[in-house]
Structure formats: structure tokens, C-alpha cells
Amino acid sequence: MVFLYSNSFFSQKVTFPSDLKNQELEDFLSMKKNLNYLNKNGYYFLDIPKEKSFSNRLAGEILISDTSKLDINQIDVEFLMNDYQYYLVTNWNTLIVLKSIDHLKKEMNSVE
């Protein structure tokens, strides 16, 4: 019985790689300078490709009333650590592409 108690006492919480990535994403998004960079450089618009199917890559659909006053922090989109996200902007019939956080980190490091 003492062995079981001491074994559980000394055991550590198991952290999965996805948990680490989620924490890394949260940490990145919690910093104001990162959010500012993300808001200016974290996305781009892309014409809908006519030759190839894109619907299987879509993370969702959104409406953007004015792209010149776009605040990416106020739009219901989700950035990923190591993959780009594609959203259909239905009222503009275009795609907004969110860069991965890993890509943005590399960009930020090359600017500094």
C-alpha cells in the first residue's frame, strides 16, 4: 500500500505533444506584439482557384465588410501552429489564408 501511494506521489503528469503545441499557441497569442504582427502580416487574400478543388481545405466561411479596416483579432478564425488555415470570404468570393504560427515566428525572427 505504501508503494502504491509513493508511486502515485512521485509520478508526473503526462503531457502530450498536442498539449504542448496548444500551450505554445496560447502563449504566442497572449502577447500584444505578436497580435499586432499577426494583424498586419498573419494573413493574405487569394482568388479562388478555378483549376483545383479547395473545399476540402476550408476551415469555414466568414463575412468581411471592409478589408481595409480588417482586425483579424475580431474575426471568428483560428490560427494553427504548423498549418495554414483557409476561410471562404463569402461576400467577396475570395479566400483568406491564415499563415501558421510557426511561419509567422520565422518571419518575425528574420525581421528582428
Q: Which of 105, 106, 86, 93 is nearest to 24 (CA)?
A: 105
* CB-based contact 43:72 (threshold 8 Å): yes
Q: Please tell me the predicted confidence (pLDDT) of residue 53.
A: 82
Q: Please tell me the predicted confidence (pLDDT) of residue 10.
A: 43
pTM of the model: 0.78
Give, as one character, the DSSP assignment of residue 62: E
pLDDT tens digits in sequence order for the chain, 112 residues long:
444 444 444 444 444 456 666 888 899 999 999 999 999 999 999 999 888 888 888 999 999 988 888 888 889 999 999 999 999 999 999 999 999 999 999 999 987 6
Q: Which of 71, 80, 86 is nearest to 29 (CA)?
A: 80
Question: How many angstroms separate the CA atoms of 107 and 66, rounded?
Answer: 26
Q: Please tell me the predicted confidence (pLDDT) of residue 112.
A: 62
SS3 26: helix
Q: Please tell me the predicted confidence (pLDDT) of residue 55.
A: 84
